[in-house]
Amino acid sequence: MELSWMAWTGPTALFWAGIISCLIGMCIWEYYSPGGNPRVGILRFETTRGDRLFISLLGSAFIHLAWLGLVGPSLWWAMAISLVYAVCVFKTV
């Protein structure tokens, strides 16, 4: 399979592997504990764990895009910031 048309770097591959892992993990979690545990956080509306995962993934994508545009192609710090962001989203949203 020829993937030279896309700039696959280590952080990019880890980012996509992380997204796929999160989705698979969320499917397994939902299978064994359905319902999503809705709660009201700082956004002041009810969110489930699936909503919080979506917010985390969307925010991580924007963090990575901003990092690429403002800093450059080294995405290791962007990945670290995204992980901290995801933890904060799951705890407060």
Select from 87, 76, 89 the least CA-distant residue to 48.
Answer: 89
Q: How confident is the model at residue 74 (pLDDT cuts 50, 70, 90)?
A: confident
Q: Residue 24 corresponds to which tokens in the numbers above?
A: 């698979």
Domain count, the chain: 1
Task: Kindly tell me if the per-residue pLDDT of 1 is higher than 70.
Answer: no
* Rounded-to-integer distance, Cα 46 and Cα 40, Å: 5
Residue 16 lies in a domain: no
Residue 91 lies in a domain: yes
Task: Kindly tell me if the per-residue pLDDT of 11 is higher than 80.
Answer: no
Q: Residue 75 corresponds to which tokens in the numbers above?
A: 């995405």
Residue 52 lies in a domain: yes
Instruction: Between 37 and 72, name the one with better pLDDT.
Output: 72
Q: Which residues are CB-neighbours of 17 under 8 A, at least 6 positions away?
A: none
Cα-atom radius of gyration of the chain, to the nearest Å?
15
- Domain of residue 73, residue span: 48-93
Residue 80 lies in a domain: yes
State the chain's mean pLDDT as an integer.
Answer: 87
pLDDT at 43: 85
pLDDT at 2: 66
